[in-house]
Chain A
Amino acid sequence: MASIELLLIIALASGFLAYLLGRVNRVYGAIVTIVSSMFVFSSLAYFGFTDSLDTTVSILPYVTFQVTYLGMFFAVMITFIYAMVSFFNPMFIKDYKYPGAYSMLYILSMAGVIGVFFTDNFMVMFFFFEFIVWTSMFLIPLGHSRKAAVSYYAFSAVGSFALLFAIFMMREAAGSFGINAGLAAISGTNAIVVFILLIVSAFAKLGAFPLHTWLPIAHGNAPHPFSPVLSGALVKLGAFVAVMALIKITPNSYVIVALDLPLAQYLVAIFAGLSIVFGTLMAIRQDDAKKLLAYSSMSHGGYILLAFSLGSSIGLSGGFYHIVTHALATGAAFLAIAAVGRQTGTTKMSELGGVIQKMPVTYVVYLIAIISMAGIPPMGGFISKWLIFQAVIDKGLILLAAAVFFGSIGSFLYVFRPLAALFLGQEKPQFKGILKEAPVIMLIPMIVLSGMNLVTGIFPNIFLQFINKVIVELGMAPVVLGTYTIQGTNGILDPLQITIAFGIGVVIAFIIFILLKKSKQVGLMDTYTAGNFIYSEELMHYSVDFYAPIERLYEKHTTHVQDMYKSLENKVKEFGNVVKYFFFTNKPEITVFWILIIIGALLWGDLL
């Protein structure tokens, strides 16, 4: 038996230990993050899957715990990402302005994750929710931009406060902060309000349209090792909230008979579809590989939301499985890019090229990740997307299905771009000779994640069986699973067969590639152009603006949402300045004037 409380306390304590050791030597602090996150992940996973987590609380005040499959699903997955990413910390820690603080906040935010998912009390959940926000908020500015942290905080705050408001409304209905009681007690108009608030919270956290503008800024500018945590792990908090809203609350809304879907869910699905399309289109345009992945997170957040909003077992399991596969894929991709970023100092595609020559392992990791993201077998992304397709088509949502397909194709387009621009192509002269493969400690997590990507694609049922437990816990019928097969609504998927077929295809292609190898490796200068030899290593290979024609179609319409928030910000500022102008001058007359007006208002009101 392992006490959750003990784990939480160990995590908190090791956070402070990391800070202290980080003061001695910054690398020590980073090593503490590895040990601590590995410990937390492995004990959670081990004791969790053997059903021996202890919920008794003896030290912490007010905190109460419960173990649910839902919570464990999220907690194990997120701590796994934390544990994997933590291997990167020692290599990056020397770049940070406040290394001790980085190590401490990294662990503290992970401790917050334990708190959020294992409590049965809304207040405790919110406490840790906010705790994660402010700890991660201070991690982000250690990267490139301070603005990123502000915008992250702003949207997180919107999400948290919407959640808080909903929590209080549920508390009023239920009389206590209990999560299950609260969700069950809410009904009538209040249920609609709570539903909307929770959805706003989920959208803000997941970065779904239209609350997405923080995603690229925060992910793009966070420290390299923290971007995968943000995108793979913390964003998924929004999915947790979305599950609560979409599954557990049934607002009494009008049911669209043709679709067998309540209006509320349908609206969420539409916004999710918009997120998919918008995220995809925006990702296609990005030059910075991290921003590109950020927009892809937005699009994948849309998939998750869409899956949950359909309210079917297949949809749910697709959504949950997509959370896993996307976390693994985006984690690996971000780590690969982080490795490139560390070795070269930039993540801008226009400044990079030919990295494959020196970093082949990183290249393979990235390749596997993008295959998964694009939903191509034999990676996990294919399975989850297949499930989601099944659910969407089953409901007959044609437009949304189009969005899903568009997203899938689009994601292939955009993830291929960094592949070509970063890894393939001509090696940049400025990196020549100094570029090396990432150190082993960084390769370990990348390889593990890639392996997981494959495993999720080949043996999905290991995971889906657990997801079935979650679904049953949420009150739905489980998805029918064979030993290796998944029963969809209109077909059976056998990932193993697909993998074997795919594997055979790859092998054949490889054989052909070897046998028919006509090309030979030539040096960069060993060529000529327009009848002249080349004497300098100028850039000959342009792989930056792949999709310029497509981009041109919508390039004028990419900033509407940002503009909206910008103008909102300006409106608040203007309002403040107007008030300042009316009430604050260094003259006493203003005060007297308003006093007279207010007295007049009262007396006038009383006399009439």
Chain B
Amino acid sequence: MLQYAAIVLIMLGLYGILTKRNVIKIIVSLNILEIGLNLFIVSVGFVDGGLAPIFTSQNATNDLNFVDPLPQALVLTAIVIGVGTTALGLAIAKTIYAKYGTFNLDEMGEK
């Protein structure tokens, strides 16, 4: 179920970029897309009844049914990269605002 929700999130993110004319809204949509993507990636490694992939004193051996750790590692990377792009996007949004006085793409008179 969460997997499907993730795909819907991705599509909603694309829908946001497709329809919104506001710079901030577009960045929000990008974030939604990324969250959806992250959820999807993690969901790809999920095993029913699996354990979090950390050896502890309770879950002490590798014979146990762990979930796939690799997608989680990838998501960690993806999240950080997402933050990088978001921060950059917002910085650009600020310069756009400084130049045009608005966030709305339709109100900017650029050719």
The size of the chain B interface, using a CB distance under 8 A, is 8
Q: Is A557 an interface residue, CB under 8 A from the partner?
A: no
Asked if A519 is at the interface of the complex by the 8 Å CB criterion, the answer is no
* Contact pick for A586, options B14, B19, B26, B110, CB 8 Å: B110
Smallest CB–CB gap between B96 and chain A, Å? 11
The stretch of A187-195, A223-231, A588-596 in contact with B is A588-596
- Contacting A at CB under 8 A, from B6-57, are 14, 17-19, 21, 26
Q: Does B76 contact A (CB under 8 A)?
A: no
- In the complex, the answer to whether A589 meets B17 with C-beta atoms within 8 Å is yes
Q: Which residues of A contact B105 (CB under 8 A)?
A: 587
**Residue of chain B at shortest CB distance from A591:** B17
* Cβ contacts under 8 Å, B14 to chain A: 592, 595-596
A-side contacts of B26, CB under 8 Å: 588
Bound: A119/B64 CA distance, A: 77
Q: Which residues of A contact B18 (CB under 8 A)?
A: 589, 592-593, 596
- B21: A residues at CB distance < 8 A: 587
How would residues 215 to 251 of chain A score, 1 for a CB under 8 Å from any chain B CB and 0 otherwise?
Answer: 0000000000000000000000000000000000000
- Write the chain B residue with the least CB distance to A585: B105
CA distance A589 to B14 in the complex (A): 9
Closest to B17 in A: A592
- Are B17 and A588 in contact (CB-based, < 8 A)? yes
Contacts of A589 in B (CB 8 A): 17-19
B83 to chain A, nearest CB (A): 20
**Which chain A residue shows the least CB distance to B105?**
A587
User: What is the 8 Å Cβ interface bit string for chain B, positions 74-111, against chain A (1 contact, 0 not)?
Assistant: 00000000000000000000000000000001000010
> Could you say which of A588, A593, A595, A596 has the most chain B C-beta atoms within 10 Å of its C-beta?
A588
Cβ of A586: which chain B residues have Cβ within 8 Å of it? 110
CB-nearest residue of chain A to B13: A592
| Chain A hits for B110, CB < 8 A | 586
Of the listed residues B14, B18, B21, B110, the one surrounded by the most CB atoms of chain A closer than 10 A to its CB is B18
**Min CB–CB distance B22 → chain A (angstroms):** 12
CB distance from B69 to the nearest CB of A (A): 30
Distance in angstroms from A151 CB to nearest chain B CB is 32
Q: A596 to B17: give the CA distance in the assembly, Å.
A: 12
Q: CB within 8 Å of A: which residues of B?
A: 14, 17-19, 21, 26, 105, 110
**Which are the 7 A-B pairs with shortest beta-carbon distances?**
A592-B17, A592-B18, A589-B18, A592-B14, A588-B17, A593-B18, A587-B105
Given A588-B26, A592-B17, A596-B18, 7 more contacts at CB 8 Å?
A586-B110, A587-B21, A587-B105, A589-B18, A592-B14, A593-B18, A596-B14
Would you mind naming 15 contact pairs between A and B with Cβ atoms under 8 Å apart? A586-B110, A587-B21, A587-B105, A588-B17, A588-B26, A589-B17, A589-B18, A589-B19, A592-B14, A592-B17, A592-B18, A593-B18, A595-B14, A596-B14, A596-B18
